[in-house]
Amino acid sequence: MQNRTTPQAAQRILLAALMPLGLATIASAGDIQPLKTAVIKATTGLCHRGETCHVDRAGVWTPSIAVAILGASVAEQADIALYTDLEVSTRPEMYQCNGGEAQGCIFRMKYAGPGLLDYGATSGSTYVGSNITNTSITFPTGYGIVIPAGTPIYVHLDVRNTSLIDLKVDQDAWLYYVPYAPVSQ
């Protein structure tokens, strides 16, 4: 009689072998629910040197179905002297999220590019390093920010260009979500 191992038994054997290595997190299709991604492209347009460029609704995404946002990520993209304040919310203007009136407020971050050494120059520049990192937030299991269908989600930008050059500032916000259907009572 020939000894045959079923695929399920083989998976259990593999998981048992991987457990001491901390690698036993292989999931089957039944364990994973599809997570969707929305990318909101936002821009200030051309921001002249030395200016502050404030753009409410610099980018927008409107889900066609009710969604629960489970996380957000924004890559800090400044490797020059640039200060950026970014807000993701359903509010039509920036700086409307505060206290108990924060419904629809999803994500907020600020970052500043590295210092700029100009040695009194009026053109050219010397940069002190780079500031390209990621800023993100995820919510505890079972929690998410619920956004009704048809509700616009905006990226608001407030950018101070303290570099010696004019810049077109583009900033993407990534939202990770699942469709949401309330449980009927």
Higher-confidence residue: 168 or 20? 168
Question: Does residue 44 lie within any of the structural domains?
Answer: yes
Mean pLDDT value across residues 90-95: 91
Q: What is the pLDDT of residue 70?
A: 95
Alpha-carbon Rg of the chain, whole angstroms?
A: 23
DSSP state of 104: T
Beta-bridged to residue 24, according to DSSP, are none
For residue 11, being part of any structural domain is answered with no
184 within domain boundaries:
no
Q: Which of 178, 184, 183 is nearest to 67 (CA)?
A: 178
Considering the domain boundaries, does residue 25 fall inside one?
Answer: no
For residue 83, give its domain range: 34-179
What is the C-alpha to C-alpha distance for residues 94 and 52, in angstroms, rounded to an integer?
14
Is 18 contained in some domain? Answer: no
Q: Report how far residue 147's alpha carbon sits from residue 104's, in angstroms, rounded to the nearest whole number.
A: 7
pLDDT at 59 over 90: yes
Supply the pTM of this predicted model.
0.72
How many residues appear in the chain?
185
Per the CB < 8 A criterion, the answer to whether 81 and 163 are in contact is yes
pLDDT in tens, 128-155: 555 555 688 888 888 999 999 999 999 9
Across the range 9-36, mean pLDDT stands at 62
State which amino acid sits at residue 170. D
Summary count for the chain: helices (H), strands (E) = 1, 11
Over residues 172-184, the mean pLDDT reads: 89
The C-alpha atoms of residue 156 and residue 109 are separated, in whole angstroms, by: 11
- 70: domain CATH number is 2.60.120
Q: Is 119 among the domain residues?
A: yes
Q: What percent of the chain has pLDDT over 90?
A: 36
12 in any annotated domain: no
Label residue 23 by pLDDT band (50, 70, 90). Answer: very low
* Domain count across the chain: 1
